[in-house]
Amino acid sequence: MTATLADDRSVRLSAGPLVRRPKTTRIAGMMLAVPATVFLALFLLVPAVRLVASGFLTQDAHGALGGPVTLAHYVHFFGTALYSHVLLVTLRISLLTAAIAALLGYPVAMVMVRSHPAVTRIVTFITIAPLIVSVVVRSYGWQLILGNGPTGILNWVLLSLGLIQTPLRLLYSETAVVIGSLHVFLPMMVLPLASALGKIDPHLEEAARTLGMPAWRVFHRVTFPLSLPGLAVGFTLVFSLTAGSFVTPAMLGGTNAQMLGNLIDQQITAVYDWPFGATIATVLVLIVVGVNLVSMRLLEGRRRMPATS
């Protein structure tokens, strides 16, 4: 009985600097992280290092990688108009998707947070539901809807209603990829936004309104700034996932809206130029990391600005 009491106390006070858990407990605690760490080291870190290294190696006639170390692949990538264009398209599609996801996501997240619990549950389910269906299936669906001929569902509807005279050319375009990506990644925006909005004390908005601000200005001055951490997470997620996507641009973008992912696929599986594929992959990852750092910095900076002004 006394032993149990003592144990309880040591656990409760373990955060304090004066009380330490027994050494064996601490080691046992660290051991718990070992399997995952080993797994990640073996199957993520090592291949990643090899991938980056491949981009600086030369491939001989038999396809084996070796010396000399070279920057030729990078020069080739940035020197060729086609590749720069694909890079630009990738950035444009990803930024646009993330931005539109934010615009669409805010109202949904607001409803999710502010409504009756039953409504919240339904909206949450509807938001998450697309994740249950495979990306391939969803992209096929969009192919049917956006089909360029008069038989594409959207074109057929618009033509029947007399709203357009000639079929729209939506499929195999950047627009189609943005639409498809939005459909897939919107939950990644809504969920962090809802979480951030849910943490805002409703009294803050009430206080702002009693102080004389109409509702839309309250959103601008109070709700939006306080939800920025959620927006930062959502934006990062949607941007990164879109930039790295492969299936959606392959099925909805065709050759008009190729993205870096498709380029990598071509280089590895069709051209068998592994060093160049590795180069593109490295560029892709660096860009994603770079954009994320910039967006985080902007959002964080905005949030901290009042403290320094």
Return residues touching another protein (CB under 8 A): 201, 203-204, 206-215, 217, 221-222, 225-226, 303, 306-307, 309
Closest distance of CB 223 from another protein, Å: 11
Closest distance of CB 119 from another protein, Å: 19
Q: CA–CA separation, 145 vs 49, rounded Å?
A: 42
Indicate the length of the chain as a whole number. 309
Q: CA–CA separation, 41 vs 34, rounded Å?
A: 10
Closest listed residue to residue 236, CA positions, set 90, 102, 73, 60: 102
Say which residues have a Cβ less than 8 Å from residue 34's Cβ, sequence separation at least 6: none
For another protein, the closer CB: 33 or 307:
307
For another protein, the closer CB: 44 or 207:
207
Most distant CA pair in the chain, distance = 86
Q: CA–CA separation, 179 vs 143, rounded Å?
A: 11
Closest distance of CB 196 from another protein, Å: 12
For another protein, the closer CB: 137 or 201:
201
For another protein, the closer CB: 53 or 228:
228
Q: CA–CA separation, 183 vs 276, rounded Å?
A: 31
Closest distance of CB 192 from another protein, Å: 18
Give me 256's structure tokens.
Answer: 């008009």
For another protein, the closer CB: 164 or 215:
215
Identify residue 186 by its one-letter amino acid code: L
H or E stretch at 65: strand 65-66
For another protein, the closer CB: 21 or 199:
199
Closest distance of CB 63 from another protein, Å: 56
Say which residues have a Cβ less than 8 Å from residue 123's Cβ, sequence separation at least 6: 108, 111, 112, 115
For another protein, the closer CB: 184 or 231:
231
Closest distance of CB 195 from another protein, Å: 17
Give me 262's structure tokens.
Answer: 């498709």
Q: CA–CA separation, 244 vs 250, rounded Å?
A: 12
Which residue bears the tokens 């931005």?
A: 99
Closest distance of CB 209 from another protein, Å: 4
